[in-house]
């Protein structure tokens, strides 16, 4: 975890890196109070593949990933997004028009939680976590965050859009939370984005969750 502080200056100087966030991880599958101090994540938006390849080949940040006990990398193309992250739209350069898909989809949900809504938010997390663990269409999921408690996110991988819609709007706890987020104004800022995962490398909890699921 110490590299989350040491890597920031290096990332700020990285050519071709349009937007990035270093993120700690939780112990649950969704946003939770528990932290895993041995695991962290980098979300990055690049100018293009050449900038990413240069980073992977030359950056000491990327070199440390190779020395980690376990690491997993996924490359994503945005399908759609709404909202802001730190006042910015990470995908302002544009999102390509996509055809209907039946293959895997990645989802990033991120929020800045209002201080007055923290208790209500975290009381809702365990029920959503239980539903997520029972959802067959979810290939993998993890809670991540920039700051403890108030700036939280979830990254998840799904069989496809139908599985996402089923969990978001048909499961009781999650549907209830969506309603309360709107009516009680839990978030000061939020972002929801969907992606096509087109390449992955390494393992996540001992395996690559996309290896047997990726389709053309």
pLDDT, residue 135, reads 80
Q: Mean pLDDT lowest for which of 71-75, 111-115, 144-148?
A: 144-148
Residues 6+ apart with CB under 8 A from 120: 180, 184, 186
Select from 50, 102, 130, 62 the least CA-distant residue to 215: 102
Give 177's pLDDT tier (boundaries 50, 70, 90).
confident
Is the pLDDT score of 208 beyond 70? yes
pLDDT, residue 157, reads 95
Three-class secondary structure assignment of the chain: CCHHHHHHHHHHCCCCEEEEEEEEEECCCCCCCCEEEEEEEEEEEECCHHHHHHHHHHCHHHHHHHHCCCCEEEEEEEEEEEECECCECCCCCCCCCCCCCCCCEEEEEEEEECHHHHHHHHHHHHHHHHHHHHCCCEEEEEEEEEECCCEEEEEEEECCHHHHHHHHHHCHHHHHHHHHHHHHCCEEEEEEEEEEEEEEEECECCECCCCCCCCC
Q: What average pLDDT does the structure give for the chain?
A: 86
Is the pLDDT score of 216 beyond 50? no
Is the pLDDT score of 108 beyond 80? yes
Give 134's pLDDT tier (boundaries 50, 70, 90).
confident
Full-model pTM: 0.87
């Amino acid at each position: 975890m110490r590299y989350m502080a040491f890597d920031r200056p290096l990332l700020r100087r990285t050519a071709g890196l349009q937007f990035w966030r270093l993120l700690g991880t939780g112990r649950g599958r969704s946003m939770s109070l528990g932290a895993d101090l041995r695991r962290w994540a980098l979300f990055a938006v690049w100018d293009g593949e050449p900038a990413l390849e240069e980073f992977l080949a030359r950056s000491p940040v990327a070199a440390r990933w190779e020395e980690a006990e376990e690491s997993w990398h996924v490359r994503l193309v945005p399908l759609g997004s709404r909202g802001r992250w730190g006042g910015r739209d990470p995908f302002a350069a544009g999102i390509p028009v996509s055809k209907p898909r039946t293959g895997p989809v990645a989802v990033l949900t991120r929020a800045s939680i209002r201080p007055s809504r923290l208790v209500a938010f975290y009381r809702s997390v365990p029920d959503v976590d239980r539903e997520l663990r029972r959802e067959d269409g979810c290939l993998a999921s993890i809670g991540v965050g920039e700051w403890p408690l108030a700036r939280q996110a979830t990254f998840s991988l799904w069989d496809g859009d139908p599985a996402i819609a089923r969990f978001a709007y048909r499961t009781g706890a999650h549907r209830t939370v969506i309603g309360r987020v709107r009516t009680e104004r839990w978030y000061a800022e939020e972002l929801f984005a969907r992606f096509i995962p087109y390449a992955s490398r390494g393992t996540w909890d001992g395996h690559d969750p996309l290896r047997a699921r990726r389709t053309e």
